[in-house]
């Protein structure tokens, strides 16, 4: 054991002095340095080759089905026709994998296949009655401004593309992968489709005169790119048929993944209340801006009254500078969204002037308009006063849930009361946004590394009450079939290439290892002459091979990451990446999609193992040919074969 330790130490010294420490002189040559570099290149190439094989498959899947960083491949699912919607209980059962049939039950009940989550989606269309682009110049049910600002067809060759949005929960991976904020009145917009289809000039022109001036001024007059637009005004249902124009903060993403072309993502906590108040006209969709002039919440501005408008001091204020203050205020507030479809008009009530608002404008906006005409109530002027109504049936939104008084909820909607409190005589109903009647579609994200077909089988195989819960669409099944075929072709090609690569790695290593060992033939003879055994010499040589491979693997790991980064940088600026972003909906297209650290280590470890085995086989073969065998005498290694032949003759 002591001699073995000496042999291994000696081999290590020889390895380190053999050019591995390239900055130091190498008295015996640099062939171990060269071997290490060769191992690094071979391991790096093998790692890249195996990574590229997986990358090809993953890009194929991502290109066809989309991909969300950190979540996986989105699979578009439809609620089975046997049921109208997925209620809270069904969703909960679905998430717990309670309805798996025996045929499709995942092998591991606690594995990832059993924990795939169904994320409901509400499709937001141009004519959406809940949230849509504003319709400031036409009636409530016409395409109005949307058709003007969204150019459906760019040219003869361009396919028509509707303004399509998805209402999704903020917990949906697609939302946070897109950079959607955790709260606030906000939306995520697809820059690629907006850039092509959204006519901002038309949008702003359509809003001009119809939108309260303080809101309109939040939008720039012109933009160079849609991403310069940090806010958008959308029309949101407030109460029954009443709508209100509201500012939304916009988060732009270059594109959104999926087989469908999605232009907008709107949080469910914005859509669901609007939908609830549409279906239950007793309820009012209040927001945090609904406060009265003393800061009281839940107050909707119903009217503005100018008391004693004919009085001299009031008239002086209304007509200061020779203008018509009341007309200015009406013009500033724009047009009514619904009802008369015309501008706001003051009416006379005796000596008073009254402007009916019905909650379409918040007090903050109205006050801004009054202030512009010098009519805002202040200490020296109290003839203008707002009139508020406190809403008796507000829909209070908190996170992913809204609550309302039981008395105000229509009986047909009580079935959706999550807590069932109303049925038990309680006072307040609660509605969870992730379980609404119109949620007939949804997404399941299949994490990277899981088999897509198996995952879809597991999801669609679930039943509740003996009936299927969700089905995958025909287009997905078709795409999956094609992907499976392509993957099988890649796998077959990969096997053939791997065999060829193995032989190639072995030959290349032998070409370097054989001369490296043969050059030391005399040294090994010297070691035998000094008393070292053949096994100890062999162990030293194998240690050197191991060191070359391990050090090569470390270099290869750095080299591979750098190469990948360089490739990614090169790919990021390519036409293919731009196409993936703008047409395929990939948020972050990558040449070699990121795999987990374990996955990367597995690729590196596999390549290192392969090269190590090849190096050991090449070394043992060369050692045997030296010959360093049981019967070898020291002198056999210290003289050349030519000298032996000469002596023998």
Member of 294, 382, 424, 647 binding another protein (CB under 8 A): 647
Residue with tokens 């392969």: 610
Determine, following the binding rule CB under 8 A, whether residue 631 of this chain makes contact with another protein: yes
Least distance in Å: CB of 23 to another protein? 17
Determine, following the binding rule CB under 8 A, whether residue 183 of this chain makes contact with another protein: no
What DSSP line would sit under 228-296, residue for residue? G--EEEEEEEEETTEEEEEEEEEEEES---SSS---EEEEHHHHHHHHHHHH-TT-B---TT-B-TT--
Q: Which residues pair with 55 in a beta bridge?
A: none
Identity of the residue, 511 or 529, whose beta carbon is nearer to another protein in the bound complex:
529
Determine, following the binding rule CB under 8 A, whether residue 597 of this chain makes contact with another protein: no
CA distances from 317 to 304, 323, 326, 431, 442 (A): 16, 10, 10, 49, 58
What does the alpha-carbon distance between residue 203 and residue 223 come to, in Å, rounded to a whole number? 12
What does the alpha-carbon distance between residue 295 and residue 286 come to, in Å, rounded to a whole number? 14
Which positions from 518 through 537 interact with another protein, judged by CB under 8 A? 523, 526-527, 529-533
User: What backbone torsions phi and psi does residue 187 show, to the nearest 5 degrees?
Assistant: -150, 160
Member of 84, 182, 558, 633 binding another protein (CB under 8 A): 633
Span interacting with another protein, options 2-10, 177-185, 283-291, 391-399, rule CB under 8 A? 2-10
Identity of the residue, 342 or 531, whose beta carbon is nearer to another protein in the bound complex:
531
Identity of the residue, 63 or 540, whose beta carbon is nearer to another protein in the bound complex:
540
3-class secondary structure, 328 = helix
Q: Which residues pair with 72 in a beta bridge?
A: 68
For 454, other C-beta atoms within 10 Å of its C-beta total 14
Residue 49 burial class via C-beta count within 10 angstroms: exposed 0-12, middle 13-18, buried 19 and up: middle
What does the alpha-carbon distance between residue 403 and residue 395 come to, in Å, rounded to a whole number? 6
Determine, following the binding rule CB under 8 A, whether residue 3 of this chain makes contact with another protein: yes
User: What backbone torsions phi and psi does residue 125 show, to the nearest 5 degrees?
Assistant: -105, 170
Member of 4, 8, 10, 554 binding another protein (CB under 8 A): 10
Dihedral sign for Cα 314, 317, 323, 324, please. Answer: negative
Determine, following the binding rule CB under 8 A, whether residue 642 of this chain makes contact with another protein: no
Each residue 12-41 as x (binds another protein by CB under 8 A) or -, in order, gives -xx--xx--------xx-------------
Least distance in Å: CB of 545 to another protein? 16
What does the alpha-carbon distance between residue 68 and residue 587 come to, in Å, rounded to a whole number? 7
- Binding residue count for another protein, defined by CB under 8 A: 28
CA dihedral defined by 245, 246, 248, 254, rounded to 10 degrees?
Answer: -10
Least distance in Å: CB of 542 to another protein? 17
For 570, other C-beta atoms within 10 Å of its C-beta total 11
Least distance in Å: CB of 19 to another protein? 10
CA distances from 70 to 449, 512, 591, 595 (A): 12, 43, 17, 10
Identity of the residue, 497 or 633, whose beta carbon is nearer to another protein in the bound complex:
633
Determine, following the binding rule CB under 8 A, whether residue 638 of this chain makes contact with another protein: yes
Least distance in Å: CB of 40 to another protein? 22
Least distance in Å: CB of 623 to another protein? 18
Give residue 240's Cα distance to chain centre: 35
Least distance in Å: CB of 2 to another protein? 8
Half-sphere exposure of 63 (CA within 13 A, CB side): 17
Identity of the residue, 31 or 417, whose beta carbon is nearer to another protein in the bound complex:
31
Q: Which residues contact 489 (CB under 8 A, 6 or more apart)?
A: none
Question: What does DSSP assign to residue 115?
Answer: G
Span interacting with another protein, options 9-17, 201-209, 210-218, 251-259, rule CB under 8 A? 9-17
- Do residues 44 and 505 lie in contact, with contact meaning Cβ atoms separated by under 8 Å? no
Identity of the residue, 16 or 613, whose beta carbon is nearer to another protein in the bound complex:
16
Least distance in Å: CB of 610 to another protein? 29
Determine, following the binding rule CB under 8 A, whether residue 636 of this chain makes contact with another protein: yes
Least distance in Å: CB of 611 to another protein? 24
Identity of the residue, 18 or 386, whose beta carbon is nearer to another protein in the bound complex:
18
Question: What does DSSP assign to residue 18?
Answer: I
Least distance in Å: CB of 5 to another protein? 9
Identity of the residue, 157 or 531, whose beta carbon is nearer to another protein in the bound complex:
531
What does the alpha-carbon distance between residue 589 and residue 83 come to, in Å, rounded to a whole number? 37
Q: Which of 40, 16, 69, 241 is nearest to 140 (CA)?
A: 241
Q: Which of 88, 89, 67, 86 is nearest to 77 (CA)?
A: 86
- Do residues 458 and 485 lie in contact, with contact meaning Cβ atoms separated by under 8 Å? no
Determine, following the binding rule CB under 8 A, whether residue 491 of this chain makes contact with another protein: no
Member of 415, 493, 499, 644 binding another protein (CB under 8 A): 644
Determine, following the binding rule CB under 8 A, whether residue 463 of this chain makes contact with another protein: no
Span interacting with another protein, options 465-473, 549-557, 616-624, 626-634, rule CB under 8 A? 626-634
Each residue 95-114 as x (binds another protein by CB under 8 A) or -, in order, gives --------------------
Residue 227 burial class via C-beta count within 10 angstroms: exposed 0-12, middle 13-18, buried 19 and up: middle
Identity of the residue, 127 or 638, whose beta carbon is nearer to another protein in the bound complex:
638
Q: Is the peptide bond before 395 cis (omega within 30 degrees of 0)?
A: no
Identity of the residue, 316 or 630, whose beta carbon is nearer to another protein in the bound complex:
630
Helix-, strand-, coil-residue percentages of the chain, each rounded to 5: 45, 20, 35
Identity of the residue, 34 or 259, whose beta carbon is nearer to another protein in the bound complex:
34
Identity of the residue, 10 or 49, whose beta carbon is nearer to another protein in the bound complex:
10
Span interacting with another protein, options 111-119, 294-302, 568-576, 633-641, rule CB under 8 A? 633-641
Identity of the residue, 7 or 556, whose beta carbon is nearer to another protein in the bound complex:
7
- Do residues 647 and 539 lie in contact, with contact meaning Cβ atoms separated by under 8 Å? no
What does the alpha-carbon distance between residue 62 and residue 258 come to, in Å, rounded to a whole number? 9
Identity of the residue, 143 or 634, whose beta carbon is nearer to another protein in the bound complex:
634
Identity of the residue, 14 or 162, whose beta carbon is nearer to another protein in the bound complex:
14
Least distance in Å: CB of 33 to another protein? 13
Member of 4, 6, 64, 414 binding another protein (CB under 8 A): 6
Determine, following the binding rule CB under 8 A, whether residue 546 of this chain makes contact with another protein: no
Contact residues toward another protein (CB under 8 A) are 3, 6, 10, 13-14, 17-18, 27-28, 523, 526-527, 529-533, 630-631, 633-636, 638, 644-645, 647-648
């Amino acid at each position: 054991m002591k001699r073995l330790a000496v042999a291994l130490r000696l081999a290590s010294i020889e390895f380190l002095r053999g050019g591995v420490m390239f900055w130091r002189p190498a008295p015996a040559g640099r062939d171990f340095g060269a071997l290490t570099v060769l191992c690094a290149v071979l391991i790096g190439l093998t790692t890249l080759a195996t990574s590229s094989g997986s990358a090809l498959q993953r890009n194929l899947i991502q290109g066809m089905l989309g991909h969300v960083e950190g979540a996986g491949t989105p699979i578009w699912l439809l609620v089975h026709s046997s049921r109208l919607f997925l209620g809270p209980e069904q969703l909960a059962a679905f998430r717990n994998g309670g309805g798996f049939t025996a045929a499709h039950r995942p092998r591991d009940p606690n594995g990832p296949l059993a924990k795939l989550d169904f994320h409901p989606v509400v499709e937001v269309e141009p004519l959406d009655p809940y949230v849509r682009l504003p319709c400031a110049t036409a009636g409530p049910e016409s395409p109005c401004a949307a058709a003007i600002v969204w150019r459906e067809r760019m040219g003869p060759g361009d396919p028509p593309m509707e303004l399509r949005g998805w209402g999704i929960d903020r917990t949906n991976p697609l939302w946070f992968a897109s950079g959607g904020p955790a709260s606030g009145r906000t939306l995520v917009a697809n820059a690629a489709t907006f850039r092509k289809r959204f006519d901002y000039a038309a949008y702003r022109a359509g809003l001009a005169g119809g939108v309260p001036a303080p809101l309109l001024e939040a939008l720039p007059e012109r933009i160079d790119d849609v991403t310069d637009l940090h806010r958008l005004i959308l029309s949101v249902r407030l109460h029954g048929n009443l709508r209100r124009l509201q500012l939304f903060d916009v988060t732009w993403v270059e594109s959104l993944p999926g087989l469908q072309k999605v232009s907008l993502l709107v949080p469910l906590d914005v859509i669901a209340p609007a939908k609830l108040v549409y279906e239950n006209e007793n309820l009012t969709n209040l927001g945090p801006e609904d406060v009265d002039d003393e800061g009281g919440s839940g107050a909707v501005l119903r009217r503005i009254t100018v008391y004693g408008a004919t009085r001299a001091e009031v008239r002086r204020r209304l007509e200061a500078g020779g203008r018509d203050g009341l007309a200015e205020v009406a013009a500033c507030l724009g047009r009514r969204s619904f009802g008369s479809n015309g501008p706001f008009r003051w009416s006379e009530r005796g000596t008073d002037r009254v402007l009916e608002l019905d909650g379409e404008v918040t007090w903050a906006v109205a006050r801004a308009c009054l202030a512009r005409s010098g009519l805002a109530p202040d200490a020296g002027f109290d003839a203008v006063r707002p009139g508020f109504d406190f809403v008796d049936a507000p829909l209070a939104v908190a996170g992913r849930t809204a609550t309302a008084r039981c008395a105000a909820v229509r009986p047909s909607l009580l079935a959706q009361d999550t807590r069932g409190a109303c049925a038990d005589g309680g006072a307040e109903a609660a509605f969870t946004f992730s379980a609404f009647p119109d949620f007939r579609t949804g997404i399941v994200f299949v994490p990277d590394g899981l088999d897509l077909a198996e995952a879809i089988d597991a999801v669609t195989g679930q039943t509740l009450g003996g009936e299927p819960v969700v089905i995958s669409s025909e287009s997905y099944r078709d795409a999956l079939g094609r992907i499976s075929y392509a993957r099988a072709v890649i796998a077959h090609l990969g096997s053939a290439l791997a065999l060829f690569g193995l032989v190639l790695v072995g030959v290349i290593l032998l070409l370097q290892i054989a001369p490296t060992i043969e050059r030391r033939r005399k040294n090994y003879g010297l070691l035998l002459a000094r008393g070292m055994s053949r096994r100890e010499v062999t162990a030293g040589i194998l240690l050197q091979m191991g060191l070359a491979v391990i050090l090569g693997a470390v270099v290869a790991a750095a080299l591979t990451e750098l190469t990948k980064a360089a490739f990614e940088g090169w790919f990021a600026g390519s036409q293919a990446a731009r196409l993936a972003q703008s047409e395929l909906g990939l948020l972050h297209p990558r040449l070699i999609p990121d795999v987990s650290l374990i996955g990367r280590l597995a690729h590196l470890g596999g390549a290192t193992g392969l090269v190590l085995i090849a190096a050991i086989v090449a070394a043992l073969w060369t050692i045997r040919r030296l010959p360093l065998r049981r019967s070898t005498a020291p002198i056999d290694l210290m003289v050349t074969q030519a000298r032996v032949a000469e002596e023998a003759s």
